[in-house]
Amino acid sequence: MRQHVNPLSKHFIDINPIPPLHEVFENPKLPLHMDVGCASGDFLFELALKNNNWNYLGIEIREKLVLNAKFKLKNKEYKNLYFSFGNANNIFYHSKNKHLFDSITSISFNFPDPWFKKKHHKRRVIQAKFIEFLANSMKKRSLIFIKTDVKDLFDYMDLTISESINFKKLVNEKFLYKDSFNPSKIQTNREKYVLMDQLEVYESIYMKI
Which residues contact ligand SAM by CB under 6 A?
A: 5, 7, 36-39, 59-62, 87-89, 110-113, 125, 188-191
Tell me if residue 113 is catalytic: yes
Nearest approach, Cβ of 178 to ligand SAM (angstroms)? 22
Nearest approach, Cβ of 32 to ligand SAM (angstroms)? 17
d(C-alpha 31, C-alpha 80), whole Å: 10
Q: What is the DSSP letter of 127?
A: -
Identify which of residues 55 and 89 has a Cβ nearer to ligand SAM in the complex.
89
Which one of the listed residues 113, 149, 152, 179 is annotated catalytic? Answer: 113
Nearest residue to ligand SAM, using CB? Answer: 37
Identify which of residues 14 and 77 has a Cβ nearer to ligand SAM in the complex.
14
Nearest approach, Cβ of 27 to ligand SAM (angstroms)? 25
d(C-alpha 9, C-alpha 172), whole Å: 36
Identify which of residues 87 and 164 has a Cβ nearer to ligand SAM in the complex.
87
Q: What is the DSSP letter of 44?
A: H
Identify which of residues 108 and 164 has a Cβ nearer to ligand SAM in the complex.
108
Across the beta sheet with 202-208, what order do the strands follow? 81-85, 55-60, 32-36, 104-110, 143-148, 202-208, 167-170
Nearest approach, Cβ of 48 to ligand SAM (angstroms)? 15
Look at residue 3 and give its three-state secondary structure.
coil
d(C-alpha 192, C-alpha 152), whole Å: 20
- Point out the residues that are catalytic: 113
